[in-house]
Amino acid sequence: MAKSLAVKAKSLVIVESPAKTKTINKFLGSKFTVMASIGHVKDLPKSNLGIDIENGFAPQYVVIKEKAKTIKELKKAGKSADKIYLATDPDREGEAIAWHVADEIDAKREKTFRVLFNEITEKAVTSAIAHPTVLDKDKFDAQQARRVLDRLVGYQVSPILWDKVRRGLSAGRVQSVAVRLICDRERAILAFVPKEYWSIIAELTGGASGSVFTAKLSKKAGKKLEIGNVNEAAAILKDLEGARFRVSEVETRQTKRNPAPPFTTSKLQQEASRKLGFTAKKTMMLAQQLYEGVEIGAEGPVGLISYMRTDSTRISSEAIVAARSFIETKFGKEYLPASPVVYKTKKKAQDAHEAIRPTYFKHDSDSVNKYLSKDQARLYQIIWNRFIACQMSPAIIDQTRVQIEANDYTFNASGSVIKFQGFMAVYVEGKDMEEEEEGRLPVIKKDDVLDMKTLTPCQHFTQPLPRFTEATLVKELEENGIGRPSTYAAIISTIQDREYVVKDKTQLKPTELGFLVTDLLVGNFPKILDVEFTAHLEEELDLVEEGKMKWVDALTEFYGPFKESLEKAKKDMKNVKTDTVSTDISCEKCGNPMVIKWGRKGKFLACTGYPECKNTKDFTTDGGGNVVPQERVVETTDAVCPKCGSQMAIKSGRFGRFLACTKYPECKSTMPYSTNIPCPECSEGKLVERRTKKGGRVFFGCSTYPKCSYAAWKLPKAGEAEDAGGEETKGAG
């Protein structure tokens, strides 16, 4: 009889991302199988609300169609495993994925464990496996409450917008508040009335060096001076003719400048926007790659940073020790504070994770650059530098303030000198607005008489607050407690995809559609669009996670007033589709009056003789508010119609730009809009502009599709044989 061989079952570790499996497998070895759920495996159905409102808001989760095969494979592996470790991300979203995976693979609870690690290092992973915990019901409920809240708003408000404005629009519990902030800022800018004011700058020389420096007029007879117009400025210049400029006071004091705390998610998004020009979405994509693992030569995949979704500035003692050792070795003892620098985490922050920091101090930014993409390297460098700087000594700066008297007037000058760089040797935080930097002053002393070289009056006008950039919008959302840092990238991306906001260089500008939808929502759902109310909901979600509030109670409190607003909006919200504004303009084709209507691209003039007459026109309004029709400019191209040989013109439609025959409607031939850049993949076709079916986002695909399926979000330069921007749009069309 053959002797049976007993094979010890492996333990199964389930993570979210396939990119992590390789890194974690390296640490755990052959006794473990590491598999990925590839994100969420269950969600609310797309075809209906999926929430039983009458029975405690019970969500009706369904398996995501594309994940059926993944679940089957996880279930099979789970049956033969001696233990199952659910190692999805250590946040609410990761907790929900862990719960849903556990439900679907039907594993026995006694052999299923939850493991959490803040970084993908050997020590963190093996320690988590050695000290497993259980699934966190409160954290799962907090995520579930957010998901249900967002579904209730999105799936019940959006259809009203479809009915009253146009199909394809969306409302969101947080995204709509973000759009409102942008619209409110734009209205404040439009309403702003600039106020004139003047300054007077003196160019002076003095001291042993005879160096030139500038001083600004600030007071008259000891009182603050405000110069309102050119006549007032001229009168002051006359008063100062022949004046003696004497130094009346010199004050030099030494100040300390402390380093910025290590990165939280929102601060990383802000700084990457300011310093690197990255969108929030791009920053999070690159940070995810650095967290999950990058191939570092013979070392294999290495997770270079700690978990990138956090609002805590806490740092582990091990990381502080490693950073202090690095600072002392690299910069010397004078750059190392006597004791570690500890940063206070904000009161409302979730302190489950550390700040974003490097995981291995042997991998400084210079040593790993060659293994990273250009953008990965740039992001890793600011994470590395910011973290090292946060544990360094303060900078010491000598600041000098000089007061200069001339007749009855006082001028001020200031300058600063860095005496000791401290943390500034490594990193200085970026700013949202350009700040005037103080120059150096010559060595001057009290009672020195200075030579006045020039006296220059300068006209200024007060400026409104600037439009939001991605960085300042993230800052505004965070300061107002709206959403969570992990959601900001998706919010900013969504409001642009929905065409509520456009990016003008780096600034976020609301569209006419953004204004319209915001006004309709504010008028009909004032609470949903209220900043304080949205922040209050976030606080309640935090209470659910802390076990201090039942998730159903939070939803019940929200839904009563919301339902009333919902029913009222269905009846009372203005129907933009049927709403028209009369004008005194007559249709040149049929003579009927024309009215202003709302269309897919905003307001336009339409003939009241429709459908017999389909004449439409663009228009503008003059300074008096009068409607001025605009002739549409037909942008022709060198392309020739394949059917009739006429010129082709550039047109815009539902799926973006395209070429249409100029003989329309006699000839209805169309062609894709070509960039004339050869396809980097097949070299046969040209890249043409297309839009995704979902969201209408522009991408570039090969004209020979489906023969060649190359697609990219970013248009490559002619001759580039690499992926455009590294973000493939597989299946985008």
What's the rounded Cα separation, in Å, for the pair 463 and 81? 66
Yes or no: say if 74 and 105 are a contact pair by the CB < 8 Å rule: yes
What's the rounded Cα separation, in Å, for the pair 156 and 14? 35
Sign of CA dihedral 205, 208, 211, 213: negative
Q: What b/e sequence results for 605-623 when a residue is b if at least 16 CB atoms lie within 10 Å of its CB, and e otherwise?
A: bbbebeeebeeebebeeee
Peptide bond into 301 cis (omega under 30): no
Instruction: Tell me how far CA of residue 180 lies from CA of 82, 187, 364, 506, 523, in angstroms.
Output: 53, 10, 42, 19, 12
488 phi, psi to nearest 5 deg: -60, -40
Yes or no: say if 135 and 99 are a contact pair by the CB < 8 Å rule: yes
Catalytic positions: 307
What's the rounded Cα separation, in Å, for the pair 349 and 277? 27
The first and second tokens of residue 249, run together, are 């006071």
Yes or no: say if 392 and 426 are a contact pair by the CB < 8 Å rule: yes
The first and second tokens of residue 476, run together, are 């505004």
34 phi, psi to nearest 5 deg: -110, 125
CB-neighbour burial class of residue 216 (10 A; exposed 0-12, middle 13-18, buried 19+): middle
User: How many CB atoms within 10 Å of residue 669?
Assistant: 15
The first and second tokens of residue 450, run together, are 């200075």
Instruction: Tell me how far CA of residue 560 lies from CA of 59, 555, 557, in angstroms.
Output: 18, 9, 6
Could you tell me which of 193, 192, 194, 198 has the C-alpha nearest to residue 228? 198
What's the rounded Cα separation, in Å, for the pair 669 and 614? 20
The first and second tokens of residue 343, run together, are 């940063």
Q: Report strand pairing: 647-653 vs 635-640.
A: antiparallel
Beta bridge partners of 403: 249, 412
The residue type found at 409 is Y
Q: At how many degrees (to 10) do helices 18-28 and 122-130 cross?
A: 80
The first and second tokens of residue 18, run together, are 């396939």
Could you tell me which of 289, 342, 336 has the C-alpha nearest to residue 312? 342
Sign of CA dihedral 470, 471, 474, 475: negative
Q: Which helix (H) or strand (E) holds 343?
A: none
What's the rounded Cα separation, in Å, for the pair 189 and 184? 9
Task: List, as one string, the DSSP characters of 664-718.
Answer: TTT---EEEEEEEEEPTTTSSSEEEEEE-TTT--EEEEETTTTS---EESSPPPT
The first and second tokens of residue 2, run together, are 């053959």
User: How many CB atoms within 10 Å of residue 403?
Assistant: 18
Peptide bond into 678 cis (omega under 30): no
What's the rounded Cα separation, in Å, for the pair 119 and 88? 12
Could you tell me which of 629, 624, 626, 622 has the C-alpha nearest to residue 607? 629
DSSP annotation of 272 reads I
The first and second tokens of residue 515, run together, are 């204004």
What's the rounded Cα separation, in Å, for the pair 576 and 167? 12
What's the rounded Cα separation, in Å, for the pair 691 and 600? 15
Could you tell me which of 688, 667, 669 has the C-alpha nearest to residue 677? 688
What's the rounded Cα separation, in Å, for the pair 674 and 420? 57
